[in-house]
Amino acid sequence: MSEVSLSRPEFYNNRELSWLEFNKRVLALATDETIPLLERLKFLCISSTNLDEFFEIRVARLKQQVQLNAVQTEVDGMTPLDQLKNIGEVAHAFVDEQYRVLNDVLIPQLADEGIRFVRRTHWNKRQQAWVKEYFEQKVLPLLTPLGIDPAHPFPRVLNKSLNFVVSLEGKDAFGRSSGMAVVQAPRSLPRLIPMPDTVTDGKYDFVFLTSVIHTHVGELFAGMSVTGCHQFRLTRNSELYVDEEDIDDLLIALEDELYTRNFGDGVRLEVADNCPLDTARLLLRQVRLTEADLYQVNGPVNLNRLMTLHSAVDRADLKYQSFVPGFPKPDLRQGDIFESIRQGNILMHHPYQAFMPVIDFVRQAAADPAVLAIKQTLYRTDPDSPLPAALEDAARSGKEVTAVIELRARFDEAYNIQIANRLQDAGAHVVYGIIGHKTHAKMCMVVRQEDDGLRRYIHLSTGNYHPKTARIYTDFGLFSCDEEICKDVHKLFQQLTGLGSALKLKRLLQAPFSLHKTLLKMIRREAKHALEGRPGRIIAKVNAVTEPKLIRALYKASQAGVQIDLIVRGICCLRPGIAGVSENIRVRSVLGRFLEHSRVYYFQNDGKDEIYCASADWMHRNMLRRIEVAFPVRDEVLAARVLREGLQIHLEDNTFSWVLNADATYTRLVPTEEQKPLTSQRVLLKELGDAIELR
């Protein structure tokens, strides 16, 4: 094997730049003519929402490091300042491309379909009168103009809120002539407003709230002349900072901290591209940013608010065709789910197969007098979901209910606090996991009194207990009453709720204790087999690969001759195809209608295949700073399903797959003339869904 140092920076992609490459792939779907038009608009909006969170968390963190004069480098050799500079260059070009796609591609094509954004310069007299009435009745009562003068400093604008900077001439009733004001658009107002058919011939004509306010902003400043009105939006640092070692109650501390999220330090300023530079610079000074943080955009500053168009337009031909999720065998649509599980392990593959059996599992447990206890982890879920409601019912009926709720699930903190309070009020035991380690494992255990004694039933998953995301995220779930796995799950809950040393597990792998070291061991085992002339094979599907020790182990395995395929949706710091280092590693990213979320690990193990489904990505935080679970799929039939549906079908995808190159760029695969186009998600929809013929 080569003695080349595997720590050289050029062997690693920068995490932040790799993420921006991922978001480019999301945006590419907005221009894909094979995708229905309104779905393409959604992909544009998703790319905008993604970028917001990137600035709120990742860029904010880098800015803090620069302020603290941090010069430490990542494995790729970049300092925080280097990263900010590179991010700025890539992000500015990306935002320009977003608005090019909106203005030059999507808006004209939407107009061709009779869906129009009617600009204020094109309003006829009836429309002008309707807009004026709408402004006076629906908008004006909610607006609070904020003049800027020594007695009225620049307002603390909310994170990502829509605002207008207004320049004025003349004096007000008190003789003031500061010449500048800010108008904040209330978040309760829709950003996209449908025009009634009484004023337009089009069925789907819309006006932007920005146009409505811009047209009538002068009514807020009686006796003064508006010389300029320009929209802007400030993105703030949204990371929550709680000293977990110096608090008495994590829930109360997070509730206090949530309010401050709207007023963190500024990290990005977006302004309309017709905003004069001197006005933009004034805004930058007020929010303590530089011109490097300024993004001038040709359109609405909040692209993600266009998402509402998808539900506002009733055009099935411009959306993905609906489908009915399938059910596994045995059919779980009716009958005793516990009896079905006793017949054998049951594998679920969402969203191709229904999430309803997971809900029924908890509901039946809550209603079944033979069930004595229910224990469940909740990382992200919907407060309106039937799952928390079923746990409440179970607790009120006298069952022992334990909920391990991760309050620190980013951007879902408020929902999780709400659910925690409800469950506590119902009499459930609610714990918040382990200080310093987010509880990211997905587990539910039911303890039932049966004729032969107590029996445990479990559900393990790669995804969250969230009925809404289960319709758009791909995930595997396993029902089982296997005694060894159930004992492991019992030990994990005991560890999460109580105190004591780490308990030895027989079947499950757990972070932060056994998962990382076992993965390294299995990678090294494949390398050993390859060096001895036996086949070596690794396939893994995860959302991100960033953990340096795992990457170096994969490099060594590649050098030994192990054939490695990684299906990595998002960030990948590993560089494939480097001569003498990673020429036996291939990396691809699969995107599409559903967000690829399942984590699957496959090791050939000299013909004794090992397949795990997991909650953990191959990142430092998942390996060492979170509570994670990887569960083996030992049943041969189910293991074959996971291998094909979770891995092999994605390696065959030649339409919605991007291949990572050694220079950190991605190339989208296009089927050759000899190849038949294959879209993995489409194949799985046909095979697992309760089949309508897909267009």
Just list the catalytic residues.
440
Token pair 């925690």 in the structure block, residue:
420
DSSP codes, 580-636: TTTTTEEEEEE-SSSEE--EEEEE-GGGS-EEEEES--BSHHHHHSEEEEEEE--SH
Long-range contacts of 124-130 (CB under 8 A, 24+ apart): 124/199, 126/198, 126/199, 127/195, 127/199, 127/200, 129/199, 130/195, 130/196, 130/198, 130/199
User: How many Cβ atoms are within 10 Å of 578's Cβ, its own excluded?
Assistant: 17
Q: At 328, list the tokens.
A: 């596994």
Q: Residue 604: left (phi > 0), alpha (psi -120 to 50), or beta?
A: alpha
- Report the C-alpha gap between 411 and 623 in whole angstroms: 22
Q: Are 659 and 587 in contact (CB under 8 A)?
A: yes
- Report the C-alpha gap between 109 and 124 in whole angstroms: 23
Please report, for residues 236, 482, 506, 690, the alpha-carbon distance to residue 485 in angstroms, rounded to integers and kept in the order given. 44, 6, 8, 31
For 431, counting Cβ atoms within 10 Å of its Cβ (0-12 exposed, 13-18 middle, 19+ buried), the class is middle
Q: Are 575 and 13 in contact (CB under 8 A)?
A: yes
Phi and psi torsions of 646, nearest 5°: -95, -25
Q: At 577, list the tokens.
A: 């195809």
- Report the C-alpha gap between 474 and 567 in whole angstroms: 13
DSSP codes, 39-66: HHHHHHHHHHHHHHHIIIIIIHHHHHHH
Q: Are 292 and 11 in contact (CB under 8 A)?
A: no
Query: For the chain, first and last CA: distance in Å?
Result: 51
Please report, for residues 251, 409, 498, the alpha-carbon distance to residue 246 in angstroms, rounded to integers and kept in the order given. 13, 20, 20
Phi and psi torsions of 420, nearest 5°: -60, -45
